[in-house]
Structure 1
Amino acid sequence: MAISETDLRHLRRCVELAREALDDGDEPFGSVLVSGAGSVLFEGRNRVRGGDSTRHPEFEISRWAAANLTPEARAAAVVYTSGEHCPMCAASHGWVGLGRIVYAVSSAQLSGWLSRWGAAPAPVAALPITTVVPAAVVEGPVPELEDEIRSLHRACFAPGAVDASPE
């Protein structure tokens, strides 16, 4: 399935949420849950700065969906996110039975940026979502948003880094 204008609109909102997180002193990740009918059901951003490293927006979406949606509604929903799910979030997505995932940048992209900038790697392995949830329907990365998201992550994880090469 190709990325649609609707997908891009929701992903742009994820980038706005990631920017809000960064502006609040948190890591720049944002996510949106959209019903099968196209209604925004939940929005979230990273809230890990307080010390609870499980406060990822994708994990919050899974918790909210489990408490508020039927299994059928969860399966029809779409999760949009600025960055590909970490293994914890991917597992929660799979256990709750959420539908399609659309992400702007991949875990591999983020890991590569962190390495190039000399920043500390994430504490868990950067695995593709489908390694954790083999039946997941996943779309991404979305090149149109890569530069903006890379700049948010550079500001958070390597503020003094020079990134002459976007690759």
Structure 2
Amino acid sequence: MTISDLDQQWLARAVDLAEQALTTGNDPYGSVLVAADGTELFADHNRTAGGDDTRHPEFALARWAAGNLTPEGRSRAVVYTSGEHCPMCAAAHGWVGLGRIVYAASAAQISGWRAELDLPASPVAGIPVQDIVPGIRVEGPDPELAERVKSLFRNQNRGHAV
């Protein structure tokens, strides 16, 4: 499966949330959980600025889904996210049984941009989601939206919001 026009619309929403995260002093990550029928179920952005580095949007989506969806609903839902899941979020995704993941920028791209822009490296290795959750359907990156994500990291490096 490839990234469709509809997927790109949801990815753009996730990147908008990443931009919102940056404007609130957080690292630029955003995610949206979409039901099989195309309904937005839950959305969030990174909330790590307060000192809890586990407050990733993908983790928040997994916790919300565990408490609000049936196992079938979780497996049919799609997670759209600005950046590929970190290992913590990938594991949460797998444990909860969420469905397909579509991301704008890969962990490898983000790691490279962080180094290029002199941003601190992640304290956790960027491991492909499929290595943590075998058999998961994953699509990404999206070249156009990845450039937009890179610009958010560039703005983060400049120390100001977009």
Residue 134 of structure 1: how far off its partner (Å)? 1.2
Does residue 61 of structure 2 align to residue 61 of structure 1?
A: yes
Residue 12 of structure 1: how far off its partner (Å)? 0.5
User: TM-score w.r.t. structure 2 length?
Assistant: 0.96
Amino acid at match of 1:73: G
Residue 147 of structure 1: how far off its partner (Å)? 1.6
Moved over 6 A (4+): none
Amino acid at match of 1:65: A
Amino acid at match of 2:158: P
Structure 2 counterpart of 1:147: 147
User: TM-score w.r.t. structure 1 length?
Assistant: 0.93
Does residue 158 of structure 2 align to residue 159 of structure 1?
A: yes
Residue 23 of structure 1: how far off its partner (Å)? 0.7
Structure 2 counterpart of 1:164: none
- The superposition leaves residues 65-124 of structure 1 with CA deviations (integer Å, 9 ceiling, x where unpaired) of 000000000000000000000000000000000000000000000001111222221010
Alpha-carbon distance in 2 for matches of 1:19, 1:77: 23
Gaps of 5+ in 1: 161-167
Q: Give the 5 Å matches for 1:49-128.
A: 49-128=49-128
- The superposition leaves residues 115-141 of structure 1 with CA deviations (integer Å, 9 ceiling, x where unpaired) of 122222101001110111111110000
SS at match of 1:42: strand
Two-structure CA RMSD over aligned residues (Å):
0.9
Aligned residues: 159
Alpha-carbon distance in 1 for matches of 2:118, 2:5: 35
Identity %: 58
- The superposition leaves residues 35-56 of structure 1 with CA deviations (integer Å, 9 ceiling, x where unpaired) of 0111000010000000111110
